[in-house]
Amino acid sequence: MEDNNFFTKLEKAVRESCQIENTLFEKFDVKRGLRNSDGTGVLVGLTNIGDVVGYEKEDGKVVAIPGKLFYRGIDIEDITMGFQKENRHGFYETVYLLLTGHLPTKDELMEFSEHMASLRSLPDDFVKDMILSMKGKDVLNILARSVLGLYTLDDKPDNISLDNMIKQSLNIIAKFPTIVAYSYQALRHLYKGKTLSIRHPQPNLSPSENFLYLIKGESKGYSKLEADLLDLMLVLHAEHGGGNNSTFTMRVTSSSETDIYSAVTSAIGSLKGPLHGGANVRVLEMMENMKINVKDWTSEEEVKEYLLKILNKKANDFSGKIYGIGHAVYTISDPRAAILKAKARELAIEKGRLEEFELYSLVERITPEVFRVFKGEKSTKVVCINIDFYSGFVYTCLDISKELYTPLFAIARVSGWCAHRIEELTFSAKRIIRPAFKNVYGRKEYTPINKR
């Protein structure tokens, strides 16, 4: 009881100390969330890596256009079509492209893949001390502390010369899947009563095959379509420009010239949030809730009604958010979601889950209009599904557990983070990122303790 009072008192004071009048943001022309008044992002940097295109500006006005994503100038649709047509996996090719700026030749890719595969293993003591001994219920949290642990295994952890940064990046990118898989195994063992399976990474397998092997083993196995899809997921999640929350975090942290382990850990923390990488789990939970509350999954009216309830904070998690919908840059479409949707359908047919897929499809089709009507004339915001909309569904079809959705995002995005860190610390006009905050609290006198 006393505890409650203690915190209630503190909470009241803290809440009051956080009040800032909405009008002050306009008065001082503060770009909330680093966003301009028309919703577009404030320009804060230049990059050669990813390019996210979701609108055009005509006479100063935002015009919605179909979304496009480029990795080092190459359209993501061409990249994914390219390796899929050649019937091979594309993640290491993508990592190479992001880091070096060009597509590898056959020999370069083979050399690169072999090097990456040779880095997958973790020292036994590290697995025991960092992953198995200290219990953890969240894979991303275990991943973050393990990344900090890698600092102690590095004999030059603070060295930011280019060659050292490249070495460190490859080592981290190669080890991420192993850390995630082992963390998941530890968590299943400790909290779900499952057998602890710590398998050795297989250098002859592609990154997605190796990951599926680490979490499922040979007995449960995985199909070619499943490994292909996971590879596609990794490629689609690898990079998204410098402005997304975790990559920007990576750039901000790196700009202070701190070590790569600290910077990657900060980016993981950002990715974990439900408005960023954590959204894929929320989509699945929302759809599960919808499946229970909507009787006829084919009824446009019933689904519309449910979506309106969500927007009115009367359904699902009462946040007012339809997860998997909306994006800071994309308007009419997210190209990654479109690529994923086509594959998700194939998978749904293979798994006998077409009915469920059709429900997702219906939500995708009607939400933009439901949102437009809900927001009314004043809002010019155009929303579409984002990549997280179908990713949870795909993972359930792959029999991959919820605990792994956002960690899988991290396994992919760490390649983009590393490319951005290297760029941040290598371009010639570099400066520490340090914006300004205006204090609007005013001044107060210091009062001696016996006069308060």
Ligand X SMILES: CC(C)(COP(=O)(O)OP(=O)(O)OC[C@H]1O[C@@H](n2cnc3c(N)ncnc32)[C@H](O)[C@@H]1OP(=O)(O)O)[C@@H](O)C(=O)NCCC(=O)NCCS
What is the binding site for ligand X (CB under 6 A)? 33, 39, 275, 279, 311, 320-328, 381, 383, 386, 388
Where do the DSSP E strands lie in 130-281? Answer: none
Residues 6 or more apart in contact with residue 52 via CB below 8 angstroms: 67, 69, 240, 241, 243, 244, 329, 330
Query: Measuring CA to CA, how many Å separate 370 from each of 296, 309, 382?
Result: 18, 11, 11
Query: From the CA atom positions of the chain, what is the Rg in Å?
Result: 23
Residue 75 near residue 68, CB atoms below 8 Å: yes
Q: How far is it, in rounded angstroms, from Cα 7 to Cα 11?
A: 6
Q: How far is it, in rounded angstroms, from Cα 279 to Cα 105?
A: 36
Q: Which is nearer to ligand X, 54 or 177 (CB)?
A: 54
The reply to whether 3 belongs to the active site is: no
Task: Select which of 51, 240, 388, 420 is catalytic.
Answer: 388
Q: Which is nearer to ligand X, 131 or 382 (CB)?
A: 382
Using alpha carbons, select from 230, 260, 191 the residue that is nearest to residue 340.
230
Task: Select which of 327, 334, 399, 420 is catalytic.
Answer: 327
Residue 157 near residue 151, CB atoms below 8 Å: yes
Q: Which is nearer to ligand X, 216 or 304 (CB)?
A: 304
Q: Which is nearer to ligand X, 73 or 320 (CB)?
A: 320
Torsion of CA 81, 82, 88, 90, to 10 degrees: -90
Q: Which is nearer to ligand X, 89 or 282 (CB)?
A: 282
Residue-wise burial string across 213-251, b where 16 or more C-beta atoms lie within 10 A, e elsewhere? bbbbeeeeebeeebbbbbbbbbbbbbbbbbbbbbbbbbb
> Strand pairing partners for 41?
35
Q: Which is nearer to ligand X, 67 or 324 (CB)?
A: 324
Name the minimum Å distance from CB 244 to ligand X: 8
Name the minimum Å distance from CB 365 to ligand X: 15
Residue 237 near residue 412, CB atoms below 8 Å: yes
Residue 90 near residue 82, CB atoms below 8 Å: yes
Residue nearest to ligand X as judged by C-beta position: 326
Q: How far is it, in rounded angstroms, from Cα 95 to Cα 166?
A: 12
Name the minimum Å distance from CB 373 to ligand X: 13
Name the minimum Å distance from CB 324 to ligand X: 5
Q: Which is nearer to ligand X, 171 or 331 (CB)?
A: 331
Name the minimum Å distance from CB 413 to ligand X: 11
Sheet of 61-71: strands edge to edge? 50-58, 61-71, 74-75
Using alpha carbons, select from 321, 100, 396 the residue that is nearest to residue 109.
100
The reply to whether 327 belongs to the active site is: yes
**Which structure tokens are listed for 111?**
């050399």
Phi, psi of 354 (to 5 degrees): -65, -35
Q: Which is nearer to ligand X, 266 or 280 (CB)?
A: 280
Name the minimum Å distance from CB 190 to ligand X: 30
Torsion of CA 389, 395, 398, 403, to 10 degrees: -170
Name the minimum Å distance from CB 387 to ligand X: 6
Name the minimum Å distance from CB 263 to ligand X: 22
Query: Residues with catalytic annotation?
Result: 327, 388
